[in-house]
Amino acid sequence: MKKYLIVNTGSVSAKYAIYDEKSELFFGHFEIEAGKAIVTFYVDGNKNKPVTLKISDEIFNNSLDYFIKEAIKNNIIYKKEDISSISIRVVSPGTCFQSDRIVGDIFMSQITEEKEEAPRHVPATLKEIKEIKKIFSNTSIIGISDSAYHKDVPDFVKNYAISQKIAKDLDIYHFGYHGISVKSIVNKLKKNGQLSSKVIICHLGGGSSVIAIKDGKSFDTSMGYTPLEGLVMSTRVGDIDPVAVMYLGQKLGKDSTELEAYFNNECGILGLSGGKSSDIRDLLKLEENGDKDAKLALEKFVMSIKKYIGAYIAEMGGVDTLVFSGTIGERSYIMRDRICKNLEYFGIILNKKLNNKTVSDDKKISSFFSPVKVLVVCTDEMNQIAKETLKFFEIK
């Protein structure tokens, strides 16, 4: 049976998995926790028995090589040549990246051109592809689009308020991201009989977005041309007046490339907290100890999410289901509670006890009296990428 390597390089972490044509065989998640590099492994999709190890920075920076060696050590594969194909999540602006594609010379040329437009993801993706090619020199690589799910949004969502000719010539559109995650959540809701007509998904993590799903399809999403638009995020500024952008560039003496790096890496809750942390857990502890900057950063994060929830309720003419997903959405009952506070007017009422005890589990957390269902649904991007990989080969 063929085996596939799935690669998901995020803005602050890296995930790898080996699948056969039926299921997940081996998984590894490399991340930074409390300033230290760690990796979490589990075998045969058994998430109830994770093994978490502290690792060196060197291993963290060479995570794919370490993962493959661990897969061989655990008899998942006997040699690297057992991997028949590799799929990697691709986050990049451009109409050409709204479909799944073989990673060849044309793909590499096009994504290299977009490197400066999505500096949190494209450089990491290019680095990962380079590493893949070094380890697997003769294995085909497929780029799985993170924006494909949003390609059929209404034209009034897709288009910015600029000349349509200029938009077409320069390929500037509201592409949206987190599409692989959202598709996995929608599929889960459908499978469990929970997919309603009007759904709002809050995918909250290092990168965060709010997505409106109408009749099972993407209707609107907070991320735009790049993942920088939308919510206040860990290190990303989110929505900001374009004139303020130009003024900041002028006053800080930064050119467009430097300014984009600033907005991606030094802003968001990290910037608002005075550079103390981009981690919600750290900021909650700081806030508890009276830190006003941490309090402001958390309030701004919550406010930005509420604004998009309200906007999408208005756009869709209501909401039936509110979903929390992503690292923060799945793990932080405190942030879910703060986001839902004062949304009772829209029919969103939490069951505090259910909310407080739900961590990284698919659960309904709304009150019995809540007209709107509020759910925690764990995203499964890796499994969705594996499904898209098999579908890609079926089409081909």
Residue 45, pLDDT above cutoff 80? no
pLDDT band per the 50, 70, 90 thresholds, residue 127: confident
- Tell me what pLDDT residue 43 has: 86
Mean pLDDT of the chain: 94
Could you tell me where in the chain the CATH 3.30.420.40 domains are found?
3-145, 195-376
**The one-letter amino acid at 77:** I
- Tell me what pLDDT residue 395 has: 62
Scanning the chain, the segments in alpha helix (DSSP H) are: 57-61, 63-73, 105-113, 122-135, 155-158, 164-170, 179-191, 242-252, 256-265, 268-272, 280-288, 292-316, 326-331, 333-340, 352-356, 381-395
Around Cβ 111, how many Cβ atoms within 10 Å?
Answer: 23
Average pLDDT for 9-23: 85
List residues with catalytic annotation: 146
Q: What is the CATH number of domain 3-145?
A: 3.30.420.40
Distance CA 95, CA 81 (A): 33
pLDDT, tens digit, 9 for 90 and up, residues 280-325: 999 999 999 999 999 999 999 999 999 999 999 999 999 999 999 9
91 three-state secondary structure? coil
Share of the chain above pLDDT 90, in %: 85
pLDDT, tens digit, 9 for 90 and up, residues 196-249: 999 999 999 989 999 999 999 999 999 999 999 999 999 999 999 999 999 999
Residue 396, pLDDT above cutoff 60? no
- Tell me what pLDDT residue 119 has: 66
- Tell me what pLDDT residue 36 has: 86
Residue 331, pLDDT above cutoff 60? yes
| Range 354-381 burial, b when 16+ CB lie within 10 A, else e | bbeebeeebbbbbbeebebbbbbbbbbb
Orientation angle between helical segments 280-288 and 292-316, nearest 10 degrees: 120
- Tell me what pLDDT residue 124 has: 80
Residue 188, pLDDT above cutoff 80? yes
The answer to whether 362 and 378 are in contact (CB under 8 A) is yes
Residue 55 exposed, middle or buried by CB count within 10 Å (0-12, 13-18, 19+): middle
Using CA atoms, how far residue 194 sits from 4, 140, 197, 361, in Å, is 30, 37, 10, 16
Average pLDDT for 62-80: 94
pLDDT band per the 50, 70, 90 thresholds, residue 69: very high
pLDDT greater at residue 10 or residue 374: 374
pLDDT band per the 50, 70, 90 thresholds, residue 394: confident
User: Radius of gyration over alpha carbons of the chain, in Å?
Assistant: 21
Around Cβ 104, how many Cβ atoms within 10 Å?
Answer: 11
pLDDT, tens digit, 9 for 90 and up, residues 157-181: 999 999 999 999 999 999 999 999 9
- Tell me what pLDDT residue 31 has: 87
Average pLDDT for 263-274: 96
Q: What is the CATH number of domain 195-376?
A: 3.30.420.40
Strand partners, 324: 202, 376
Average pLDDT for 69-83: 94
Residue 121, pLDDT above cutoff 90? no
Range of weakest confidence among 113-117, 162-166, 191-195, 316-320: 113-117
CA dihedral sign of residues 46, 51, 55, 59? negative
Which one, of 96, 99, 196, 108, lies nearest residue 145 by Cα?
99
The answer to whether 20 and 3 are in contact (CB under 8 A) is yes
- Tell me what pLDDT residue 87 has: 97
